[in-house]
Structure 1
Amino acid sequence: MPTPQPTATPQAIIMPTPQPTATPQAISSTDTQTLYNEARKKVVRISFNTGNGKSEGSGWIIENGWVITNEHVVNTQRFVTIEFPQENRLEYKRVTGEVKGVDTKRDLAAIKINYSQEPIPTKEVTINDIGEQVVTLGYSAGNAGVPSTHSGVITYVKESIDVDTDTLTPFWGQNLKGKISVIVFDADADPGDSGGPLIDSQGNAIGVVYGRLNTTNGKAVTGQQFATNIVSVREVWEDLKKGMNTSNK
């Protein structure tokens, strides 16, 4: 009979140690400063004289030779003053802008300028982008050449909102009307920031800041600022450049 051979000793299967998943990180102060520095010279202060002083707001370069802002920033003006930040933050370049098309439904206005500046890249967002880190730039502090900035996150994206029934209160009292896409975010925005860009962590402008909600049903509300989503801007931008009023589109 053959000599029995010892069976192999079973070897334990070593399972890999589970690795912790990465915790999402907020935009660091360094990253916020980088986003600010990249966008600063592309964010402008818009103003015009009224019978009682000066009206001011913000805007930004959406393409070379064109500024986008809110309709309520330009009001009924045909020409407005545009102030561009320069490398030296104590200086700015002043030019005249001609208001072309306006849209009260989306609270948008297109301004033609004779000034060359690289635009801020744009990107549409959806509900899948909730939680994305964002920053705002605008002139609520009132200093030409030095826009202020705040950081926060996208708290909600209303992809098709009928503001006739779901009322949002912009800074200057109007209401957007019709089905548009609105970004809700918690970064601070104040009067004077209207028309400025809402920028994501990659440096894309994803919306045009237009307002905030202060109260609902008589109760104070915080962290409810709004921007018109770039998807709604793109619906009408080419027509705005042609001088059209796209409020009914």
Structure 2
Amino acid sequence: MRQPALYSRSARAAAVAAPEAVDTVPQKTAASPLRTTGLGQRLAQAGTSPRVMWACMALLGMLLLASVLLRGPGGARELTQKDIDAAVLRTLTTQNLPSAAARAAEKIRPSVVRVMSFTKNKKGEDVEQGVGTGVVIVDKGVILTNLHVVQSAQTLRLVFADGSASAASVIGAQPENDLAVLQAHTIPDDLSAATLRSTTDLLPGDPVVAVGFPFGIGPSTSAGVISGLGRSFRSPEGEQEIGNLIQFDAAANPGNSGGPLVTMDGEVVGIVTGILNPTNHRTFVGIGFAVPIESAASAAGLPPF
């Protein structure tokens, strides 16, 4: 069954909304399987990496089996919690753990879409006029991208993360924020929608990841931080100025337009819409802009956070 758009409350917002939660956490006892030690910190850094978690589970299984086998009439000592902690910590320190940016990119990648626009030549044949990026926000095939990616196109083609392709139609637009909403004609069975997150508690310096198809290459991932909020931007070829933008320094280039800007949790906070370059080269010099997801979601008629 198709699901509606997913929303996530940020960790900061949740903490402000429920401060009393701090007092309700039970105290850890000596019997707790993981104490707040170097081991706990290593596990937290492991995040949700399946590789690391399966390795830990296998190691724990072997340790428990060894503990059972060691019990016998000879009086061999049983494995202690300290033995288990040390063994798991040894495994974690020898594993190459994925970075936070890599985990964020892995989470959002199934929802990232290549968007190709075509026009007809004199012979009536489709000619590609540009490549951009989109992000699935509802798993029935509703996709957000930039209006300038699809504007003036006669036909649109999408390529999903699983490699399947589909034609698409523009079903909505928000020109003042350079946003367009697409509907895929053919929907993969396992299409995954991104989780959208409010921007209300974003701060300059917060790490972010941009995923897209710069110059048609991708999906490509770049990482950086939020450089500022409430910015304004006017594209060199456009007359319209867009305000209330997120400024970021994760590398973006032509083709990234319409792609998601995500937190380290892999949750979308913005739609990449432009880069600032004082020359005509249209390459990244360290300043990119994204439309906050609140504006982008409203373009698709989705409810507020």
Q: TM-score, normalised by structure 1?
A: 0.70
Asked if structure 2 preserves the Cα contact closer than 8 Å seen for 1:124 and 1:230, the reply is: yes
2:223 aligns with 151
1:168 aligned residue (234, 248, 265): 234
Asked if structure 2 preserves the Cα contact closer than 8 Å seen for 1:127 and 1:157, the reply is: no
Give the direction of change, closer, same or farther, for the CA distance of 1:222–1:53 in structure 2 (3 Å limit).
Answer: closer
Q: CA deviation at 1:209?
A: 0.3
Normalized per residue, the structure richer in helix is 2
Asked if structure 2 preserves the Cα contact closer than 8 Å seen for 1:185 and 1:224, the reply is: yes
Alignment pair present for 1:84 and 2:160: yes
Which stretch of the first structure deviates more once superposed, 132-141 or 110-119?
110-119
**Aligned sequence identity (%):** 30
1:132 aligns with 206
1:62 aligns with 137
1:238 aligns with 301
- Segments of 5+ residues of structure 2 without an aligned counterpart are 1-44, 46-96, 122-126
Asked if structure 1 preserves the Cα contact closer than 8 Å seen for 2:180 and 2:299, the reply is: no
- The structure 1 segments of at least 4 consecutive aligned residues displaced by more than 6 Å after TM superposition are none
Q: CA deviation at 1:103?
A: 1.9
Give the direction of change, closer, same or farther, for the CA distance of 1:176–1:208 in structure 2 (3 Å limit).
Answer: farther
- Paired with 2:180 and 2:229, the residues of 1 have a C-alpha distance of 22
Specify the code of the residue in structure 2 equivalent to 1:130.
Answer: P
1:212 aligned residue (242, 256, 275): 275
Alignment pair present for 1:198 and 2:266: no
Normalized per residue, the structure richer in strand is 1
- Paired with 1:124 and 1:175, the residues of 2 have a C-alpha distance of 29
Question: What SS does the corresponding residue of 1:100 show, helix, strand or coil?
Answer: strand
Question: What SS does the corresponding residue of 1:61 show, helix, strand or coil?
Answer: strand
- Paired with 1:175 and 1:33, the residues of 2 have a C-alpha distance of 37
- Paired with 2:117 and 2:284, the residues of 1 have a C-alpha distance of 31
Asked if structure 1 preserves the Cα contact closer than 8 Å seen for 2:251 and 2:284, the reply is: no
Asked if structure 2 preserves the Cα contact closer than 8 Å seen for 1:42 and 1:120, the reply is: yes
- Segments of 5+ residues of structure 1 without an aligned counterpart are 1-24, 87-91, 240-249
Give the direction of change, closer, same or farther, for the CA distance of 1:29–1:226 in structure 2 (3 Å limit).
Answer: farther
- Paired with 1:70 and 1:33, the residues of 2 have a C-alpha distance of 25
Q: CA deviation at 1:137?
A: 0.5
Alignment pair present for 1:107 and 2:107: no
- Paired with 1:126 and 1:80, the residues of 2 have a C-alpha distance of 34
Root mean square deviation of aligned Cα:
2.6
**How many matched pairs?**
194
1:242 aligns with none
1:73 aligns with 149
- Paired with 2:261 and 2:183, the residues of 1 have a C-alpha distance of 21
